[in-house]
Amino acid sequence: MNTRRRFSPEFKSQAVALLDAGKPPSEIAEDLEIGTGLLYRWRRTLSQQTQFGSGAQRAGGEENEADELRRLRRENATLQLENDILKKAAVILGTKPQPKRAR
């Protein structure tokens, strides 16, 4: 059974860095047990991603701004909904602020 291997973005970028550093492609491919065509495809893909910006590789764990904005908007909507529910519950229950106790 021939299973398809998957490589992390970090692995791909490190392999391309070796290629860009001048190491022979056949040597890199042999060391990493991949084809030279795959190595060149990774380099082409990485160079296209850096040209177009938003689709580029991200540093480890770093969110791009659009993703962060979407996450913050979702979080804001959730918090507003929870706040509205609490306000309605307070009105329904008729809660009054508790008097401060003297210490």
Using a pLDDT cut of 70, give the percent of the chain over it: 78
What Å distances lie between residue 40 and 16, 44, 103, CA to CA? 8, 6, 75
What's the pTM value of the predicted model, to 2 decimals?
0.47
Residue 12 has pLDDT above 50, yes or no: yes
Residue 26 has pLDDT above 70, yes or no: yes
Convert the pLDDT of each residue in 50-83 to its tens digit.
776 554 445 555 568 888 999 999 999 999 998 9
**69: Cβ contacts below 8 Å, ≥ 6 apart:** none
**2: Cβ contacts below 8 Å, ≥ 6 apart:** none
**Overall average pLDDT of the 21-44 stretch:** 92
Q: Quote the CA–CA distance of 99 and 103 in Å, as a whole number.
A: 12
